[in-house]
Amino acid sequence: MSKTIQWKAVALGACLSVTGVATSFSAHAQTPAWPSKPIRMIVGGPAGGNADSLARLLADGMQKQLGKPVIVESKPGAAGVLAVTDLLNNGKDAHTFLLIQGGIVSETPLAYKVNYQPFKDLKPLAQLSRNGLVLIANKDFPASNLQQLSVYGKKQPEGLDFASYAAGMRGHTSGMLMGQLMGIKMKHLGYKGSPPALTDLMGGHIPLMMDGLTTSLPLIKAGKVKALAVNYPNRMEQLPDVPTFKELGYPQLSEVSWFGVWSRPDTPADVQAKVREIALQYFKQPQVAAKVRDIGMESGTDATSEALMSELQKAYQRQQALLKSIDYQPQ
């Protein structure tokens, strides 16, 4: 082999070596380690609320596993729309996530005019907790169970008033569906959140309310209001003596509400999988599950993102039909 050929071979080898290093460096630069900075966990609810409590539990688990700060930020208002908007605007970097109820997809877009496409713009990564609604009454209301309510309600020519935490949401439609099934005229009074409605219920200004168990549970246990029936597939551990609508002959009233952690759909798949894995494993720990029960919820399932979205599609269709039956118009 001539010296010219030898030098060409050496030059080619060096070139290939440098190119390989450059290619390797470029690929590494394009896929930086995640997380590369603090993570934001947006909460679709007020500070100190149920979503906030769950978000802080999740943040603790993520910080322990990832070694990066997880900052919990409450974005209350507009039925969760403000929180969703924040995620959509700032979640492109895969360091912003959302903790909110599944109703942000299956209920809110039907009750209010929103600026997002529920089944395209959001993706649930993991279900953290499950909870139901409970029908509660003023402690002096002349019915202490559903059968007595049915008899009493049918004797009221003007119908029965009931409250919920928000117009157009499931507390509203569940009360109206109960009336349809029992042959009672129900008249809805929508409030901005549970606290003012519960205050009026205890004060005797309204007789009934369809509320989330988490907000009404302390008042039920204190004897300030009474629980008549639970809107959930099974009896709640926190209220073992309160029957479900289902066991009383109304299986239509057995919906499940749930909280989960969400991302933008275009978040890298490996990041989605990591957040999901951490969330599911952490919330299965006995001490964490106990805290979830103390809030008034049951532990979530390990349902996949696809299964959760399929469930929400069906819930959306049911809610849409109920709102149409009462001629509700989005606000």
Phi, psi of 290 (to 5 degrees): -65, -40
User: Which residues contact residue 129 at a Cβ distance below 8 angstroms, ignoring those fewer than 6 apart?
Assistant: 54, 258, 259, 283, 292, 295, 297, 298, 299, 300
Dump pLDDT digits (tens) for 148-158: 999 999 999 99
pLDDT value at residue 48: 86
Tell me the mean pLDDT in the region 194-198: 94
What angle is formed at CA 103 by the lines to CA 101 and CA 106, rounded to 5 degrees?
145
Tell me the whole-structure pTM to 2 decimals: 0.86
pLDDT value at residue 331: 82
Closest CA to 197 of 228, 165, 240: 165
Closest CA to 186 of 258, 135, 145, 245: 135
Per the structure block, which two tokens stand in for 54?
């769950």
Which of 23-32, 210-219, 314-323 is predicted with the least confidence, judged by mean pLDDT? 23-32
Dump pLDDT digits (tens) for 156-186: 999 999 999 999 999 999 999 999 999 999 9
Q: What is the CATH number of domain 133-231?
A: 3.40.190.10
Domain range list for the chain: 39-131+257-325, 133-231
pLDDT value at residue 19: 45
Phi, psi of 54 (to 5 degrees): -65, -40
Average pLDDT, the chain: 91
Dump pLDDT digits (tens) for 35-90: 999 999 999 988 888 999 999 999 999 999 999 999 999 998 888 999 999 999 99
Cα gap 148→159, rounded to integer Å: 15
Confirm if 152 and 143 have CB atoms less than 8 A apart.
yes
pLDDT value at residue 8: 45
Alpha helix positions (H), 35-123: 50-66, 81-90, 103-106, 108-111, 118-121
Residues forming beta bridges with residue 139, ordered by sequence position: none
pLDDT value at residue 49: 86
Q: What is the CATH number of domain 39-131+257-325?
A: 3.40.190.150
Tell me whether strands 208-212 and 160-164 are parallel, antiparallel or unpaired.
Answer: parallel
Two domains, one topology: 39-131+257-325 and 133-231: yes
3-state secondary structure of 17: helix
Tell me the mean pLDDT in the region 236-264: 96
Tell me the mean pLDDT in the region 87-102: 96
Cα gap 50→211, rounded to integer Å: 14
pLDDT value at residue 13: 46
Q: Indicate whether 246 pLDDT > 80.
A: yes
Greatest alpha-carbon pair distance for the chain in Å reads: 111
